[in-house]
Amino acid sequence: MSKPVTIVLVYQSLLGIYGDQGNAKVALKRLQLRGIEAELVSVEPGEPMPDDADLYFLGGGEDMAQISALKALQSDGGLRRGVENGGVLLAVCAGFQICGTTLTVGARDEVVEGLGLLDVETRRGEPRAVGEVLHRWTRPDGTESLITGFENHGGRTTLGPAAKPLATVEVGVGNDGSGVEGAVQQVGKGWVIGTYPHGPILPRNPELADHLLELALGRGLEPLPMPEIDELRRQRIDALRG
């Protein structure tokens, strides 16, 4: 009997202010609806991070909570090992920033070392990026899909050569106003995807949710039709495009 797909929700007490825990819950539900056994595990600072999970989720948080989470993850080391062992990590907003090589925090713009899971750097920028977004994502099969969400960040994130953009911006600021959004990078046997939109992003973008699941499982998944979700997406996209 194969073991259940393990989904880890990381440090919700620190990185849970924007409802990004919904990403992990959607991943769990989309597996269960397909008859795939899965379990959701919540890990808080001071608890050992599993290094053999299939999916990890980091969410958004305020500056001091972000740094507390970063220090705890650096000390534990389990998240890095988990990704290198083949896990897939989705990191949103503050979670995205701490996965980079360096970031600045607070009014003093102190530069701190990140987890180094993504070849990106984040610095504070003005004005703050706030509002609904629409991004164009090219899927692995070459077809294009749209990503909707809500960005709320004061950081400007630039990509190094090892990281590739997740998407291009149609509406919103994205990483730094240059027209790209998010980052994708293979780390060891696993993958890290960083992105700014909340929403949460996976309930609003089922194709992206299934892409993460397929990366974690190492195989394709059959479609999961949900006409009501498709209609809501259509309405959001039409509203953004005016």
Whether residue 83 is predicted with pLDDT greater than 70 in this model: the reply is: yes
pTM for the model stands at: 0.97
Interatomic CA distance for residues 196 and 123, integer angstroms: 14
Domain that holds residue 16: 5-241
Q: Positive or negative CA dihedral for 170, 213, 15, 192?
A: negative
99 is catalytic: no
Residue in 93, 99, 135, 211 annotated catalytic: 93
Find the CATH number of the domain harbouring 167.
3.40.50.880
Residue 236's pLDDT band (boundaries 50, 70, 90)?
very high
Structure confidence at residue 140 as a pLDDT band (50, 70, 90): confident
Q: Is the pLDDT confidence value at 242 over 90? A: no
pLDDT for 2 equals 78
**For the segment 176-203, what is each residue's pLDDT rounded down to a tens digit?**
999 999 999 999 999 999 999 999 999 9
Distance CA 208, CA 226 (A): 14
Number of domains in the chain: 1
**From 135, 153, 198, 211, active-site residue:** 198
* Range 23-45 average pLDDT: 98
